[in-house]
Chain A
Amino acid sequence: MPEMTYSEAINAALREEMQRDPKVYILGEDVGIFGGCFGVTKGLFEEFGPGRVIDTPISETAIIGTSVGAAAAGLRPVPEIMFMDFMAVCLDEVFNQAAKMRYMFGGRAKIPMTVRTVCGAGFGAAAQHSQSLEAWFTHIPGLKVVMPSTPADAKGLLISAIRDNNPVMFIEHKVLYGTSGPVPEGEYTIPLGKADIKREGKDVTIVATSMMVHKALAAAETLAAEGIEVEIVDPRTILPLDKDTILQSVAKTGKLVIVEEAVKFGGFGGEIAAIVTEEAFDLLDAPIKRIGAPFVPVPFSPVLENAYIPSAGSIVNTVKSLG
């Protein structure tokens, strides 16, 4: 299996789906000639031309709005919103149009649109270019929300998202773009709504998403040296959520730590904690712990930003605190 970066894996998924299905096209700010702000769409403009790799004006509302209209009319758009923070200027098109059209129309419409966007701190990009806003989207029936943590997951999940007949938020993490890993070649899909166990263990379950999977893996190494074996569950898709894999892991370990990069208050981790509490309280040997960002905007100064992002050290300490 070839090694690829997360960015290359996404690029490969886009290329393969565009080769397979002429209804698939991509659009967004600087995705064409420029190759994407993070270089993710590099080479696609040259291969598929300006009719299918479309540079748009700075018009997030029109990017998503036209995508919804085109999807309703039978195409499979893959719009890119350069930073997840910018979703705030096109939320109506996602929340009130794309997500609800099927239901409002009594099941007589489908919106096969995959919105690619980028979350996460760690680049010194400050408060308007670094947020993890996935919880917003999980609150809207009709959407699917995907957060890949590895190159292989990014490829397999993106292909599935593009083939899905529902609007999907595909949330990439900017710090992960340069990370490498083995990626299956050719046709490779991962079903949306299927979690992956990134590390097996018997003592404590850690549910972590996106970049936090890697923080959890680092913490697991430290903890293993101290004789604590953690199991890391990566939901990969947070909507729909693979509750069964989480509950099965908790049944094994009896302890749960949830790690997310988003602001902890009101974050998606709270939903996971609530589900486990409601459905499997008897399995728990200790209170559920959540780790997330403090209730502040993402700061600029690297010292502050570093303090903002949940660390492997805080995961280690939290796991140990469970006794």
Chain B
Amino acid sequence: MSFSKERLLELYKSMVTIRTFEETAAELFANGEIPGFVHLYSGEEATAVGVISQLEPQDYIASTHRGHGHLVARGGDVALMFAELFGRQTGYCKGKGGSMHIADMSLGFLGANGIVGAGLPLAAGAAFACKYQNNNGVAVCFFGDGASNRATFHEALNIASIWKLPVIFVCENNMYGISMSQERHQNITDVADRASAYGIPGISVDGNELFAVYEAAEEAIRRARQGEGPTLMECKTYRYRGHFEGDATVYRCEEELQSWKLKDPINRVKKRMIEMGVFSEEENQAIWAEVKTIVQKGVDFAKNSPLPDEAELVEDVYCD
């Protein structure tokens, strides 16, 4: 793998945008400015960026309840995202979806999803559509370790394997399904082991190491595009925040959180880029400042946007 300086900066900036978006959302939620549930992605940025940065315009993504990072990595508009979180008319879904249902069909982003594990068959279906239309597209599905116990996981992997679908199943193993630690919810340590049950490649990587994720995704995407079928890719990572904002995280300890923060995905890329001479600490600071401005503009846009008209309530149920 060799990257141009521009490419490295692009990947880094994408990760920084996700972190900034999420930490800003956390603050807004704590202030009572965002209704409903939000599930934040801080700590898992390398996974979204390592995979999604390699996709083409015709490709599809099925996301999760913890989906902001995936959409940011796909180039989603943070202003439209915040407007959706705020339930505004200008949001991605006109305020009808909220954090858990943000979608952008124009980016092939088939939505965050409030049902754990629901994305796997949807992504397999989108991959089927790519194959059926022979358009060289692929689909990526993100899901957690918890979702790997659902029937959707097993049915989707099986059907994708027999149909040789161009799909990449990316398990973001953040070690917990809400409060259930992986050791309590499944009798394996590597979700990737389950690939062998479907006769497809399974690979487990350090999900906090951007380049490890990137390399594994590159091969999985290559296989998919060349008609070699699906791959199960597991990225071991950790969510810094609770399952949802407001979660007291009684099921895990501070030491565990701190040990993962030492492996912070953004810091690791930053360190490597400084070592490589891609940028200086000053330039790094400038990137964070630039991203902060963009994110703040998004928040301002959202706050200044109109709320939906009540007449909107009954619109968009059916399509003509």
Contacts and interface: CB of A to CB of B under 8 A. Distances in A.
A103 B96 contact: yes
A89 B122 CA distance: 16
Contacts of A56: 159
B132 A25 contact: yes
B105 A72 contact: yes
A70 B121 contact: no
A227 interface: no
Contacts of B93: 104-106, 108
Contacts of B118: 65, 92-93, 96-97
B121 A66 contact: yes
Contact of A108 (B105, B122, B152, B159): B105
Contact of A62 (B95, B121, B139): B121
Contacts of A93: 118, 121
Contacts of A106: 91-97, 316
A59 B125 CA distance: 13
A105 B112 CA distance: 10
A69 interface: yes
A186 interface: no
Contacts of B159: 56-57, 59, 62, 66
B220 interface: no
Contacts of B46: none
B318 A102 contact: yes
Given A92-B115, A104-B96, A108-B105, A75 B155 contact: no
A61 B160 CA distance: 13
A115 to B, nearest CB: 13
A107 interface: yes
Interface string A58-94: 0101101111111111110100000000000100110
Interface residues of A, number: 40
Contacts of A67: 125
A73 B130 contact: yes
Given A70-B129, A97-B122, A109 B162 contact: no
A62 B124 contact: yes
B103 A62 contact: no
Contacts of B97: 104-106
Nearest to A99: B317
B62 A69 contact: yes
B155 A69 contact: no
B319 A102 contact: yes
Interface in B84-108: 91-97, 101, 103-105, 108
B158 A104 contact: no
Interface in B101-153: 101, 103-105, 108, 110-111, 113-115, 118, 120-130, 132-133, 139, 151-152
A129 to B, nearest CB: 21
Interface in A138-158: 141-142, 144
A69 B96 contact: no
B318 A142 contact: yes
Given A62-B155, A105-B105, A108-B105, A71 B125 contact: yes
B122 A65 contact: yes
A166 interface: yes
A57 B315 CA distance: 37
Given A75-B129, A92-B118, A97-B118, A166 B318 contact: yes
B229 to A, nearest CB: 15
Tell which of B92, B139, B155 has the most Cβ of chain A within 10 Å: B155
Given A74-B129, A142-B317, A105 B124 contact: no
Contacts of A62: 121, 124, 152, 155-156, 158-159
A101 B111 contact: yes
B176 interface: no
Given A57-B159, A75-B129, 18 more contacts: A25-B132, A57-B158, A57-B162, A62-B121, A66-B121, A69-B139, A72-B105, A73-B108, A96-B118, A97-B118, A102-B317, A104-B111, A105-B92, A105-B93, A105-B101, A108-B105, A142-B318, A166-B319
Ranked 3 nearest A-B pairs via Cβ: A69-B125, A65-B121, A107-B316
Interface of A: 25, 51, 56-57, 59, 61-62, 64-75, 77, 89, 92-93, 96-97, 101-110, 141-142, 144, 165-166
29 contacts: A25-B132, A61-B121, A62-B124, A62-B158, A62-B159, A65-B118, A65-B121, A65-B156, A66-B121, A68-B125, A69-B60, A69-B126, A69-B128, A70-B125, A72-B126, A73-B60, A92-B115, A97-B113, A101-B111, A103-B316, A105-B101, A106-B92, A106-B94, A106-B316, A107-B94, A108-B92, A142-B317, A165-B320, A166-B319
